[in-house]
Structure 1
Amino acid sequence: MPDFVSCPDARFDPCDALADALAGALADAGLASDIRGMRPMADTGLAHTHVRLARDTIDWVARLPKQSQMGLPAEENLAYQAACFARAGPSGHTPALHGVLPPSAALPRGGLLVSAVRGRPARLPEDLPAIAEALAAIHGLEVPAEEDRAPLRSPADPWRAMREEVAQQAQWLGHASLSREARAQIEQELAALPERLPPGPGTAPRLISFDAHPGNFLITDSGRAVLVDLEKCRYGLPGFDLAHATLYTSTTWDLHSRAVLSLEEVAGFYDRWRSTAGLAGDTASLLACRRAMWLWSLTWCAKWRAQHGRARDAEAAGEDWSAELSDDALVAHVRDRVDHYLAPATIDRVSRELLDLRLALDA
């Protein structure tokens, strides 16, 4: 979901605890002198609260974590996210990082300060070429030597790491109140994942977002796509990002950019990325990554369904999908999407698309 869509009617109450905490953190960091005002932004994501900071020059956005999707303690989570913005910044398609607010009693998970992006939510399919170009720019960045990639994840075998992550989330399938048919369908798709990818084009690790669904992009007046949510970057397979940008479970997630893409539109997106990135990607590997990313999304849905009813973590440490952390309207939206994606008819739809897409890409 888009991170920087403002909420024009939202204002801080003068006694709002979050406003006081943020003002204090900015003062402590020596970053308060040119802040002219604060405005909370719409609650559109499960991982952050966003506050727009008005400045005389370019406005900033304070990204205040609700949790760590990477399962990290507060300080490590901030360091990881800061590294995501710093590494992706040279692409020209991400917000600039301006500061880090360390965790405190008032802000238990701290925060990041990034440039506010003036733009509109992505519209599909018309903005697919711009999204493909943005991802190509990120994937085309120079990859550091292995010893310099920390703190970002950089598994020796990105495919195996993805399989393990999907398998870990799949442990929640038995706790998600799935229908018998849906459970069987997902298990069948999991079994279809290859043990390893054949060596060849597209299997070398690159910097990837791992959260490249269209709702995380804003489109500037010049038509440039900007990826605004970077907390899960890693060195992995670009095919995961390409899948996340165009899967049915991604393009129908966000209210602002919701669309159902045709096979021709998806194939055109892949072709645009190939021609722009100058990176090879054979069809078999790209489709394997697409299936894996879809299964990652499905198993995440199962995990969220099983966990969102829990009370929020009082220690504010690590991963936390409690519905208490988000507005009721956002939770209702997520529940609707999760129910839809875990329905047998939807699973069958995406499975059939995977088969049909092979022909479209080869053509």
Structure 2
Amino acid sequence: MNSQTQLKHLHGILSGRAMFSNLKQEDLKFLPSKGLVHDHIQIAGNRSGCSTMLIRLPRLSQFELDPNKNLEYQAACFSKASLSNHTPKLIVVLEPSKFLPMGALVVEEIKGKSINLPQDLTEMAKCLAQVHSLEVPDNYEKYPLICHSDPIAGVIKIINDQSKFINGVIDNSQVRKVLSEEITWARNFASRHVNHHPPPRLCLTDTHPGNFMIDTSGKVYFVDLEKALYGSPAIDLGHATILTSTLWDFDVQAKLSRVDIINFYQAYLKFLPVNLQDEIRPWLLPMRRLAWLRSVTWSCKWSAGQHNSKRIETGVRAQIQTHISNRLAAFVDLETILSIRSEWVGPNQLVLT
């Protein structure tokens, strides 16, 4: 289906709702692609208190959910996280249909730009602290979000599942050896903390810096909420500032110094209530290590999937796919791995507490 046909069908679906009764097809505009998982369409005009809105059109589910479950999950991510006032608000859910096979979400558009690192690290820390400080609901109210009642065991399961792809995509025996050592450490760490682990809180999961925006007032928002879950906030912090993440996005490219990283963590802790500071502080470095290992093993899984995929991207998406392939190769580059690993192995370990 070409873009104009898709806009025509979307206009027909939306204009049947009172909020969009005066919507014109020309009010809908595809935005430039930034990834392979979603398309975004801007809705011009002031409605429901928003100057503009975005339609998020899923192209696939990274949790491998069917279209209805995937849409329900993403809607819940937006609804729960928006209580922080640092994520877009959910406006409307458009159920899967013939012309919307994956459905769509209409959400508030955050007017702003990509963050700039390291300048915006403090405001990024504040954004994360506000989300992580949200009250944790009772179990039945967490649905449908994944809840890692033991956040260490939860991330270890993800790492174990993804690690099955390492040997199939990594030829370098030294890289495989280092990853094997890290996975052994992770499993032993989990075993030692079966009865002592951080309590779960709402986490954003995919917290690479490209998923944050800063508005004209200097406030930072997290805008890509499809993978939120209840787990360890320290995982979000690690993923936000590890080298593989800070070089991931087209628009946000930065190599943070150790001073930058330490300042980020210190700022984050100051934004938390004291009880949460004490709860999270002991887990900062080990969860940073697990966040990195989760990313590296995910890169192996993604690379294996792309190798077996028959989908051929064109135009901007082909450029994005090439960028992703290059970044994934850097994830498993031995020099990069050893540089990152020096944060927790060797004589010059990172001190975050």
- Give the 3 Å change call, closer, same or farther, for CA 284–143 of structure 1 in structure 2: closer
One-letter amino acid matched to 1:302: C
Q: 2:201 pairs with 198, 206, 218, which one? A: 206
Measured in 2, the distance between the counterparts of 1:249 and 1:22 equals: 37
Residues 121-170 of structure 1: per-residue CA shift (max 9 Å, x gap) = 01000100000000000000010011221011112212101100111011
One-letter amino acid matched to 1:352: S
Between the aligned residues of both structures, percent identity stands at 33
Residues 287-316 of structure 1: per-residue CA shift (max 9 Å, x gap) = 11111111111111111111114446xxxx
Residue 28 of structure 1: CA displacement? 4.6
Instruction: Determine the structure 1 residue equivalent to 2:342.
Output: 352
Q: 2:305 pairs with 287, 295, 307, which one? A: 307
Instruction: Determine the structure 2 residue equivalent to 1:170.
Output: 163
- Give the 3 Å change call, closer, same or farther, for CA 357–100 of structure 1 in structure 2: farther
Which structure ranks higher in relative contact order (CA pairs < 8 Å, sequence separation ≥ 6)? 1
Instruction: Determine the structure 1 residue equivalent to 2:131.
Output: 138
Q: Which runs of 5+ in 1 are unaligned?
A: 1-11, 313-321
- Taking only aligned residues, the RMSD between alpha carbons, in angstroms, comes to 2.3
One-letter amino acid matched to 1:275: K
Residues 311-344 of structure 1: per-residue CA shift (max 9 Å, x gap) = 46xxxxxxxxx55497101001101100111111
- Give the 3 Å change call, closer, same or farther, for CA 237–282 of structure 1 in structure 2: closer
Instruction: Determine the structure 2 residue equivalent to 1:52.
Output: 42
Whether 1:221 and 2:216 are equivalent positions in the alignment is yes
Query: Is this contact kept in 1: 2:344–2:350, CA < 8 A?
Result: no
Q: 2:250 pairs with 255, 258, 269, which one? A: 255
Instruction: Determine the structure 2 residue equivalent to 1:43.
Output: 33
Instruction: Determine the structure 2 residue equivalent to 1:18.
Output: 6
Please report the TM-score for the alignment, with normalisation by the length of structure 1: 0.88
Measured in 1, the distance between the counterparts of 2:197 and 2:266 equals: 14
Give the number of the structure whose residues are more often helix, by fraction.
2
One-letter amino acid matched to 2:292: W
Residues 182-211 of structure 1: per-residue CA shift (max 9 Å, x gap) = 111211111111124648998111111011
Residue 18 of structure 1: CA displacement? 2.1
Residues 58-92 of structure 1: per-residue CA shift (max 9 Å, x gap) = 11110000111111110111111111111011111
Residue 240 of structure 1: CA displacement? 0.7
Q: Which runs of 5+ in 2 are unaligned?
A: none
Whether 1:361 and 2:352 are equivalent positions in the alignment is yes
Residue 27 of structure 1: CA displacement? 3.2
In structure 2, the residue corresponding to 1:195 is in which secondary structure?
helix
Measured in 2, the distance between the counterparts of 1:226 and 1:162 equals: 25
Query: Is this contact kept in 2: 1:155–1:161, CA < 8 A?
Result: yes
- Give the 3 Å change call, closer, same or farther, for CA 256–202 of structure 1 in structure 2: farther
- Give the 3 Å change call, closer, same or farther, for CA 191–24 of structure 1 in structure 2: same
Moved more, 47-56 or 33-42: 33-42
Measured in 1, the distance between the counterparts of 2:217 and 2:23 equals: 27
Query: Is this contact kept in 1: 2:198–2:280, CA < 8 A?
Result: no
Instruction: Determine the structure 1 residue equivalent to 2:328.
Output: 338
Q: 1:156 pairs with 149, 152, 166, which one? A: 149
Measured in 2, the distance between the counterparts of 1:179 and 1:267 equals: 32
Measured in 1, the distance between the counterparts of 2:196 and 2:129 equals: 15
One-letter amino acid matched to 2:180: E
Residue 282 of structure 1: CA displacement? 5.7
- Give the 3 Å change call, closer, same or farther, for CA 359–292 of structure 1 in structure 2: closer
How many correspondences in the alignment? 341
One-letter amino acid matched to 2:30: P
In structure 1, the residue corresponding to 2:343 is in which secondary structure?
helix
Residue 172 of structure 1: CA displacement? 1.0
One-letter amino acid matched to 1:179: N
Query: Is this contact kept in 1: 2:313–2:321, CA < 8 A?
Result: no
Query: Is this contact kept in 1: 2:149–2:231, CA < 8 A?
Result: no
Measured in 1, the distance between the counterparts of 2:197 and 2:30 equals: 41
Moved more, 352-361 or 116-125: 352-361
- Give the 3 Å change call, closer, same or farther, for CA 101–282 of structure 1 in structure 2: closer
- Give the 3 Å change call, closer, same or farther, for CA 200–161 of structure 1 in structure 2: closer
Whether 1:120 and 2:118 are equivalent positions in the alignment is no
